[in-house]
Amino acid sequence: MECPPRRECSAAPACSAQTPARRYDRGVKDSLTRALDFLAAGAWQDAHGIVQAEDSPLAAWLHGIVHTLEGDLENARYWYRKANRAFPGPEAVQGEITAARVEVRGGGAGRAPE
C-alpha cells in the first residue's frame, strides 16, 4: 500500500504512551467505525483508504492495524509510532481492534500504556 515514507519518530521518549482520549466529530467517528468494521472482517484494503484520509492519532493507530493485518510489520510500527502507541505485535491485532472500538465510542484510550 502507498503510505508516506517512514520517518523516525520525533517524540521517541513518548512513543510507548497511550493515545490520549479525544472527541471526534460524527463524520470522522462514522468513517473510523466503518474502517474498524472492515478491519474486524479482515478487509484491510478497504480500511486502508479510510484511515489514510484521516489525520488523527486514532487514524494512525488504525493505519498501524491495517499494515499489521497486511503483514507489513515495519510499516505497522511506523504508524504505531505516529499514534504514540507501543506496537504489540501481530498476535494482538484482534485485541487492538476491540480497544480501538472503545476509543472511537469515546470510552478512553483503549488500553493501558506499556
Query: pLDDT truncated to tens, each residue of the chain (114 aa)?
Result: 555 544 433 333 333 334 444 556 777 889 999 999 999 999 999 999 999 999 999 999 999 999 999 999 999 999 999 999 999 999 999 999 999 999 998 866 554 334
Sign, CA dihedral 20-21-25-31, equals: positive
Q: What confidence score (pLDDT) does residue 27 get?
A: 75
Q: Which of 35, 23, 43 minimizes the C-alpha distance to 60?
A: 35
The residue type at 114: E
Q: What is the pTM of this model?
A: 0.74
Q: Give dist(CA 111, CA 86) in Å, integer.
A: 11
